[in-house]
Amino acid sequence: METQRSQTPDPLLDGAGLPSAGVEVTHVRGVIQIFLTRILREGMDPRDWESYLQTLSQGTQRLFRRKAAESEWIPMQALTEAVRKHPSSAAGTATALRGNLYADLMMTEKHRWMLKVMTPKLMVSQAPRVFSFYHHGGEMLVERLEPGRATVTLRASGPSPPWFGVLIPTWFKRALELSGGSAVTVAHEPPETAGEAHLHRYWLSWV
């Protein structure tokens, strides 16, 4: 009879002992790492990918050499490092601009059932719940929700500026479109304008 070997959990990857959730986004679900890997590998042959992995810290290398489980917690700092050290200087912005693909992944591949009942207003009302499921840390709130317009706040730190200023607005825009909205606009008000540290405000409109 074959005995099963016990494995020591990797503290970088298993999510055990997560810190108390605060304003900093410290971890994200594995599905986000899967999404990011798909983008970072575009245009790279296996040799180029291996050379790139060699530039990363050991913990981040281990992360990108395996396929993450969709629901496990992945350290945000590892994903930030991967984007920062990518050979393309535009990798960070390119990744952020794929917020529409991120919305497609979440709402058409992972949560296709949502589209049967989703409306723009319902999507906005559920956005904080979706955010808290996929991110450990930060707090999203719906500040105002009216027919055709809404204001959402996000108190968070940790990721790079394009994550707040490009990816999240693009995600909101695509998610509203997938929910049946048209003529969608999304404006981002950063903390410098909002006048409060870590406070990001998003102004949404649709018809």
- Bridge partners of 140, per DSSP, are 154
Distance CA 129, CA 125 (A): 8
Q: What is the DSSP letter of 108?
A: I
pLDDT tens digits for range 55-72? 999 999 999 999 899 889
**Single-letter residue type at 35:** F
pLDDT at 64: 95
Scanning the structure block, which residue is given the tokens 């050379």?
A: 51
Distance CA 89, CA 188 (A): 24
- Bridge partners of 154, per DSSP, are 140, 200
Give the pTM.
0.80
**Single-letter residue type at 60:** T
Cα of 202 vs its chain's centroid, Å: 16
Q: Which residue has the higher pLDDT, 95 or 162?
A: 162
Instruction: Give the distance between the most distant pair of CA atoms in the chain.
Output: 66
